[in-house]
Structure 1
């Protein structure tokens, strides 16, 4: 299955993406995640180490893959999980399957296993065919980040796995985390532009930038950011651009390519913020002249890069 993945560089040059499509219940709705966040798909037959307490949450326990202990999450339970509720008995929403079919994902420096019902297949789409938000009415409490269509026209709901990580493991991106508490003000009056399609990551990034005391504008994809640059009458006021790589409509790779090939904007430092673990993503971004790289949900990395860029370039 994963062997069918096209080389990253070819996809990025075409502004295209691949999604692993799957079901979480028999004859149910189609869901997907970016295939470059997927390390492997396995039928897990070994022991699952149960978590302490009652078996009613999103985390089913821990599986062991090649000596690595990985938390196993029931994806269907997460869709019904409300982090603001004190009562979350999710047993009735469990995936009903006799086999442990697990998607091993790597993103933002973390590895998790996602229990699903069955795999459909990998599809390839241009980012223009990916619709941000819940245009087709699938709200899922903001857990669906975008939609696209399967070959038969059926809607595919693309899940916000970064939101899943922050909801199930709030210590990863919580406002009171150690990484957040150590952040200090950055002495600069320049404006930061942020392109990020995940609402949960955007919220965390806004909190971080406010801790720095910086002014900023946020955009749900690269198109909005590039339009802002085109319409700006004071490009010198922009201190840095922070962009995700994989985004609907216009990706971060296209943002890099357009900015660094335009004399008006090529001087603006571009920081790539990515949850991808693939080295090819970084190599591609480097070839497009990215100035720095940070891992999503790692505020200390962002502080280091912004401080280096901004503290000697105030207006």
Structure 2
């Protein structure tokens, strides 16, 4: 199935995205995740090393893939998980299957296994066909980041796997563990424009920028950042743009393309800050004249690049 994945560079240039669609119960709702977070889908038949204590939370244990120990999460349990009440027994919400069908995901520098019930297939959609937020009423405590339509018209709910990572492993998005102690203020009055659709990552980025003493405007996608840029009268006040790559409506690649092709603001440095750090993404970003490519979140590296760009050091 993963052979059907189109290269990310081709999709981004068409402003399109591919989703791996799956079920969490036999006749349940359709869910999905972006295929570029997916390494592989496997039927796991080897040993599952269970976590200590009772088997009642989201983490089922650890699987071993090619010598790598990977935490295994029950994705259906997570839908009912409340990080403010983490002691609730979630076993009644478990994936009901004798097989271990697992999506291996890589993002934000972490690898996790997500247990699901069954796979439907990969669908390809233009971002115009993807609705961000909860327009169709699927709240799921903010765990659904967007929705689109399957071929038969059924709603597909795109899960926020980065939110999941932060909820299950709080140290990932724990602002106190961002290693901000070494950061020092950057002497600049320039404004930083930030495009990031993940709320936890956006919050972390904002904390870093505030620690650096920089002014910033934050946008949930590339479209809103570009709209601001095109209506801003004082372009000289903008010191740099920081953008994610995978965003709804307009991707970070399109932000790069439009910024660097516009004579009015092609001088503004663009920092790509993303969890999608494959060689194809790096190559495409460089071909579109990205000034910096970072894997989020690395405060010290971001400080270094911003200081170099804003202070010339």
Specify the TM-score bucket, using the shorter chain as the normaliser: over 0.9
- For residues 156-190 of structure 1, give each alpha carbon's deviation from its aligned partner in whole angstroms, at most 9, with x where no partner exists: 11111111111111112211115234333222221
What TM-score do you get using the length of structure 2 for normalisation?
0.96
Residue 279 (structure 1) aligns with? 279
**Structure 2 Cα separation of the partners of residues 277 and 250 of structure 1:** 19
**Residues 180, 52 of structure 1: CA spacing in aligned structure 2 closer, same or farther, 3 A cutoff?**
farther
Question: Which sits farther off after the overlay, 239-248 or 169-178?
Answer: 169-178
TM-aligned CA deviation for residue 86 of structure 1: 4.7
* Runs of at least 5 residues in structure 1 that lack an aligned partner in the other structure: none
Residue 196 (structure 1) aligns with? 196
Contact 2:173 2:200 in 1 (8 A): no
CA RMSD across the alignment: 1.4
1:12 alignment partner, SS class? helix
**Structure 1 Cα separation of the partners of residues 296 and 88 of structure 2:** 27
What TM-score do you get using the length of structure 1 for normalisation?
0.96
- For residues 85-109 of structure 1, give each alpha carbon's deviation from its aligned partner in whole angstroms, at most 9, with x where no partner exists: 2533211111111100000001111
> How does 1:150-169 map onto structure 2 within 5 Å?
150-169=150-169
TM-aligned CA deviation for residue 56 of structure 1: 1.2
**Structure 2 Cα separation of the partners of residues 137 and 256 of structure 1:** 33
Residue 221 (structure 1) aligns with? 221
Q: Give every structure 1 segment of 4 or more consecutive aligned residues whose post-TM-superposition deviation is greater than 6 Å.
A: none
> How does 1:44-123 map onto structure 2 within 5 Å?
44-123=44-123
* Runs of at least 5 residues in structure 2 that lack an aligned partner in the other structure: none
Residue 19 (structure 2) aligns with? 19
Question: Which sits farther off after the overlay, 166-175 or 104-113?
Answer: 166-175
**Structure 1 Cα separation of the partners of residues 176 and 42 of structure 2:** 35
**Structure 2 Cα separation of the partners of residues 89 and 309 of structure 1:** 50
- For residues 16-50 of structure 1, give each alpha carbon's deviation from its aligned partner in whole angstroms, at most 9, with x where no partner exists: 11110011111111111110110000000001111
